[in-house]
Amino acid sequence: MISVSIVSHGQGQLVRQILQDLSLLLEPASAEVFLTLNVSEDLPFGAADFEYPLTIIRNPRPRGFGANHNAAFQRATGEWFCVMNPDIRISKNPFPVLMKEASRLEGAVIAPAVLTMDGRIEDSIRHFPTLLSLVRKMAGLGDGRYAFRLGDETFVADWVGGMFMFLRAESFASVGGFDEAFFLYYEDVDLCMRLGLAGQRPLACPKAQVFHNARRTSRRNLRFMRWHVLSMMRYFLKYALRPSRAIRAS
């Protein structure tokens, strides 16, 4: 069973698109989807419009990224838990190869290559950030992404982006899920850090691909930029004394 968690922030049209993608890919008996509405919105569809079980959760007030997915996980029954942004689009089923590769390499979390809508590889698979890497990024000397090509073999990565994370439910539970002290941003980095420290592997699988219609809100909205900076500071304070090379699971 695959349990999928999607959080909408007034993105009903995008959500309908990804739910329709999933309806073409998933066997109804082998999947369940949890849609959390983080703000009040009228949806252009209903739970009965899809063959797989769709649970719609309406929050009385907005919650953070980690809190929303953790709450969905508490209801999930699958052996696999997929965290997915509403702006993801899927044209070819990534789940069989992700399950196969995660099982073969004993991964705790695995992610496909994430592509822009015009087919360019995004920076969703990266080395852990350090103060030096941030300086290099601001100077235009690299953003810490791993270099790979589509179709390459699966490899151990430091961290994979939260727009699409495919997790073993038992691994996610073993580290307590997402750290809800991060309201938005860096939850994915922190989760992969804690999995690595627990001896569990984050994996990247270029054999599977999904598309991302990214908005990059933090680059245009001061409130989101503030959350981004605060999360970055929290992350560095939490792991300041841990050398990044010692964190990746062997």
What would the pLDDT profile of 34-46 be if each residue is shown by its tens digit?
999 999 999 999 9
Task: Give 136-150 pLDDT, tens digit per residue.
Answer: 776 667 778 899 999
pTM (global) more than 0.95: no
Cα 131 from Cα 212, distance rounded (Å): 28
Domain count along the chain: 1
Provide the pLDDT for residue 250.
Answer: 39
Provide the pLDDT for residue 215.
Answer: 67
Cα 180 from Cα 228, distance rounded (Å): 14
Provide the pLDDT for residue 218.
Answer: 47
CATH number, domain containing residue 177: 3.90.550.10
Provide the pLDDT for residue 143.
Answer: 78
Provide the pLDDT for residue 192.
Answer: 96
Asked if 113 and 205 count as a contact pair (C-beta separation under 8 A), the reply is yes
| Local structure of 35: helix, strand or coil | strand
Q: Which of 247, 225, 90, 104 is nearest to 163 (CA)?
A: 90
Q: Which of 116, 106, 76, 137 is nearest to 210 (CA)?
A: 116
pLDDT at 135 over 90: no
For residue 65, which amino acid is it?
A: F
Range of the domain at 80: 2-246
Average pLDDT over residues 122-148: 82
Q: Which helix (H) or strand (E) segment is 34 a member of? A: strand 31-37
Provide the pLDDT for residue 242.
Answer: 59
